[in-house]
Amino acid sequence: MPHHVLLLHGLYMRAWVMRPFARMMQQQGFSADIFDYRSLRYPVSVHTAALAAQVEQYYRVHNEPLHFVGHSLGGLVLRHFAAAYPEYVRGRIVTLGTPHRGSFTAEQIKRLGLARFTLGESYCDALDGCAPALPDGVELGSLAGSKTVGVGRLLGIQGGHDGTVTIRETCCPGMKDHIVMPTSHTAMLFDRRVATQAAAFLLQGRFIHTDQNGNAI
């Protein structure tokens, strides 16, 4: 019996960007679908309601738990979804490069007066760090990147980061596990190691922190 996962893309993107990751998750034994949403046009509350409708449709057909993987802003949509519809969170959640504590990069863009044109409706209650707390019982694993390739460097981002989101920003209060991988914010969507880690958490509730010899990954 296959495991099921629903993938959520991040800011500026559409469903197509998650297709390579969907294929990698299929290779990990998952049936993978993608939730598509317009990240700039509508507030996160609209995305949350649309996601709930898609998940409700899933449970009309399937009895198996549905897992979730959200990239960047997609992880914040999942935070809102878990808070508003906890009855639909029957599987685990993995977030990839998600700024759970707010986004320094987005804050700098806002200070430059460019938020309206470059962040749209994605800032309030999401990139500003105001996503709701995880409900009790929700198992979330957060993966961060450490390869510093991205626009954040131009905006003065400090500390370890993936080029857009800092490692510290990916730490979600109440998360069950956290891991840092040598990849950048966008490249993580095409990295088989990231897909392997996502699958590990969805299946076991923890990431793979050591190799077969017991060495840290």
Mean pLDDT for the stretch of residues 156-174: 95
Q: Report whether pLDDT(163) > 80.
A: yes
Burial class (CB in 10 A: 0-12, 13-18, 19+), 36: middle
- Is 105 in contact with 115 (CB distance < 8 Å)? no
Residues ≥6 apart with Cβ < 8 Å to 138 = 82, 86, 89, 93, 174
pLDDT digits (tens, 9 = 90+) for 42-96: 999 999 999 999 999 999 999 999 999 999 999 999 999 999 999 999 999 999 9
- Specify the pairing of strand 30-35 against strand 3-8: parallel
Q: Report whether pLDDT(214) > 70.
A: no
Q: Report whether pLDDT(213) > 70.
A: no
Whole-number Å distance between alpha carbons of 170 and 75: 10
Grouping H, G, I as helix, E, B as strand and the rest as coil, residue 171 is coil
Q: How confident is the model at residue 1 (pLDDT cuts 50, 70, 90)?
A: low
User: Hey, CA dihedral for 140, 141, 146, 147, is it positive or negative?
Assistant: negative
Mean pLDDT for the stretch of residues 35-41: 95
At residue 96's C-alpha, the angle toward residues 91 and 97, to 5°, is: 145
pLDDT digits (tens, 9 = 90+) for 176-209: 999 999 999 999 999 999 999 999 999 999 999 9
pLDDT digits (tens, 9 = 90+) for 97-153: 999 999 999 988 888 888 777 888 898 999 999 999 999 999 999 999 999 987 877
CA 11 to chain centre: 11
